[in-house]
Amino acid sequence: MENVITSVQNPRIKQLLTLQQKSSERRKTGLFVVEGQRELQHCIEAGLQIDTIFCCEEMAPNLSTINCQLSTIYVSPYVYEKIAYRGSTEGIIAVVKTPQRSLGDLSTAKKPGLYIVLESVEKPGNLGAVLRSADAAGVAAVIVCDPLTDLYNPNLIRSSIGAIFTVPTVACTSEECISWLKQHQIQILTAQLQDSRVYYDADMCRPTAIVMGTESTGLSPIWREAADAHIRIPMLGRLDSLNVSVSAAILMYEAVRQQMTNN
């Protein structure tokens, strides 16, 4: 085994902490951080390139369960406690090279395709929760337009429990997304209260993109104008909105229900 790092002042440890804390460092270096055996395995299976793995031998499972050849640096329990973003991550933290993905990388072969589009999402936890539901519902892709958080924020990876690696996910502008959807003849359903019909009256049995905005401001006019139809979830109480991840799950599974019923 290599020498064990015992100080948080070690340059490799300091870089790891900076990558966790600063999106600017993630953008500059093209690297991000993944914690936990399950998340790391999903990352590897998605074909992402591992730069380095940090392992606390006293806490880690047998590394042979991770299906790849890794450049491993061992750290003491003290150091691992300082670098771990969450409590129980099985003693494994990896630095990973950020994939460069665009709309052109998305496959439209899956029929009928269901795409989830989120405009200006700002809370990593919400996006992570949407990705978990997208994985469960077999969504073709999640497209994040004009994002206010980067796709490899540690909070997002944690809340998605690795779904950021299992669901094709790209970031782009709203204009680029609308152009791509129309080019591939994917109907656009915008979730909004104004001028809309209840979601279960919309036909989701053909290639469909469900578009949602932020809870505070909703969707921008460009999406309202580009939509083929506007849909809403009935609100029977005194509040007028749901958490975006809850709304997304409801709408995804309506699409699943319709497609299963018609198959």
Helix axes 244-261, 124-136, angle to 10 degrees: 10
Q: What is the pLDDT of residue 90?
A: 79
Residue 133 pLDDT: 97
Supply the pLDDT for residue 110. 60
Q: What pLDDT is stored for residue 71 in this prediction?
A: 76
Residue-level pLDDT at 144: 96
Q: What is the pLDDT of residue 240?
A: 77
Task: Report DSSP state, residue 199.
Answer: G
- Please answer whether residues 183 and 207 qualify as being in contact, where contact means their C-beta atoms are separated by less than 8 angstroms: no
* pLDDT for 27: 94
* Of residues 100, 73, 80, 98, the one with CA closest to residue 35: 80
pLDDT along the chain (263 residues), means of 10: 84 95 95 91 92 85 57 89 77 93 81 89 91 96 92 92 94 96 96 90 95 84 95 89 92 95 84
H or E element at residue 58? none
pLDDT the model gives residue 234: 92
And the tokens for 58?
A: 């006293």
Length of the chain: 263
| Residue 126, φ and ψ in degrees, nearest 5 | -65, -45
Element (H, E) at 197: strand 197-198
pLDDT at 64: 55
> Facing residues of 94 across strands?
34, 53
Q: What is the DSSP letter of 75?
A: B
Measured between alpha carbons, how far is 69 from 240 in angstroms, rounded to an integer?
51
Specify the 3-state DSSP secondary structure of 78.
Answer: helix
Domains delineated in the chain:
11-97 (3.30.1330.30), 103-261 (3.40.1280.10)
- pLDDT of the residue at 242: 86
Q: Output the CA angle 128-134-140, nearest 5 degrees.
A: 125
Predicted TM-score (pTM) of this structure: 0.90
d(CA 62, CA 66): 8
